[in-house]
Amino acid sequence: MTTVAAPQAPAELSREERRRLSEATRAERRFGWLLCAPAVIVMAAVAFYPIVYAVYLSLQRYDLRFPQQTHFVGLSNYGVVLSSSIWWRAFAVTVIIMVVSVAIELVLGMALAMLLYYTPLWRGLVRTSILLPYGIVTVAAAYSWQFAWTPGVGYLAGLLPAGSAPLTSQWQAIGIIILAEIWKTTPFMTLLLLAGLTLVPDDLLKAAKVDGATTWQRFTQIMVPLMKPAILVALLFRMLDAFRIFDNIFILTKGNNGTGSVSILGYDNLFTALNLGIGSAISVLILIAVAIIAFIFIKGFGTAAPGTALERR
């Protein structure tokens, strides 16, 4: 990102001139490194160190209550986690939440992006109202969902038959968690898709129209292929986020009744069971899962890596 590209030295330059030029380049490059050093150091302190420390902890038998009994156990924590049905149940719940919520968000987000792009009236008002949920703190929003679904006090629970407590049944609660996720992050999807939509040249759409393409054909044959990089980036971002879902579940159900995601499982093992070894192993496995998702998207689907989104199209 900040490395300075060496200018191509023309062939007719003398050796002396070339040497002087490369010296200047080297100095420039050193200066470049110096400029980004503070950022690299901060990144190392806040990102690399915790990750390395988590990997280190995950290789230990380490109970927060009995630190004197800590010892190295190799990969056995990973064996315990991966052979546990509890981990795979949480993994399945996480994948279901991720796939369902991201799929619905994509459809809704696309529709809203179209609406935002083509809306003739009150564009500012429409955009603001669509973005509103994204501006609310997730935990605050999750609390209001929780109240809404609590029998006796909630306006949504009041619509259900008497005696039903949807947050205490597994599938209903997962449905509510997905709903809260969709409500919350569809605006984010919309924003990313809107950016992609602006990349579709108007002339192309007009030309297609003249050629007799229907609205649906223009959408599927022209818009979607041209928007593909934006769609893939949006999907990648949301899937990475959705896989690490924590706050909505923590407030809505605390992961009870089989609604816990892998992040909730990691939290419970770290902070309730105080088992730093197992908890760290779960965290590292989540990191690996997230890396696999990103790898599939970038290598498999050719998604532009974050930061290069627009150049690659």
Partner 1 sequence: MRSIRVLRWHNRNLRRRAAAVSAPVLLAAGLAACSSASAGNAVTLNYWSFPDNSGAVQQAVNECSAASGGRYTIVYNKLPTDADGQRQQLVRRLAAHDGSLDILGLDVTWEAETAQAGWILPWTGADKAAAEQDTLPTMLQTATWHGQLYAVPYNTNTQLLWYRSDLVPNPPATWDQMISDAEQLARQGKPHYIEIQGAQYEGITVWFNSLVASAGGSVLNASSTAPSLGAPGMKALQIMSTLAHSPAADPSLSVQQEDQNRLAMEGGTAAFEMNYPFVYPSMQTDNPQLFKHFKWALYPRVYPNVPSHVTIGGIDLAVSSYSAHPDLARQAILCLRDRPHQILAAVKGGLPPTLMSLYNDPSFIKAYPFAAAIKTALLSASVRPKTPYYQNVSIVISHAVSPSASINPGSTLGQITGGINNALADKGLVP
The residue ranges that bind partner 1 (CB under 8 A) are 63-67, 80-81, 84, 86-87, 152, 163, 165, 168-169, 256-257, 260, 265, 268-269, 271-275, 278, 282
> In the numeric block, which tokens belong to residue 80?
């315990």
Local structure of residue 4 (DSSP, 8 states): P
Of 215 and 272, the one with the shorter C-beta distance to partner 1 is: 272
| Shortest reach from residue 62's CB to partner 1, in Å | 11
Local structure of residue 3 (DSSP, 8 states): P
Closest CA to 280 of 101, 71, 59: 59
End-to-end Cα separation, the chain, in angstroms: 18
| Shortest reach from residue 97's CB to partner 1, in Å | 17
| Shortest reach from residue 53's CB to partner 1, in Å | 15
> In the numeric block, which tokens belong to residue 74?
């190799």
| Shortest reach from residue 266's CB to partner 1, in Å | 10
Of 87 and 297, the one with the shorter C-beta distance to partner 1 is: 87
Of 33 and 72, the one with the shorter C-beta distance to partner 1 is: 72
Evaluate whether 263 touches 286 at the Cβ level (below 8 Å): yes
Number of residues that this document lists for the chain: 313
E strand spans, 40-80: 60-61, 71-72
Of 81 and 245, the one with the shorter C-beta distance to partner 1 is: 81
- The Cα–Cα gap between 35 and 37 comes to 6
| Shortest reach from residue 148's CB to partner 1, in Å | 17
| Shortest reach from residue 255's CB to partner 1, in Å | 8
- The Cα–Cα gap between 272 and 255 comes to 13
E strand spans, the chain: 60-61, 71-72
Of 8 and 272, the one with the shorter C-beta distance to partner 1 is: 272
- The Cα–Cα gap between 151 and 80 comes to 39
Closest CA to 41 of 33, 29, 51: 33
Of 190 and 263, the one with the shorter C-beta distance to partner 1 is: 263
Of 271 and 295, the one with the shorter C-beta distance to partner 1 is: 271
| Shortest reach from residue 249's CB to partner 1, in Å | 14
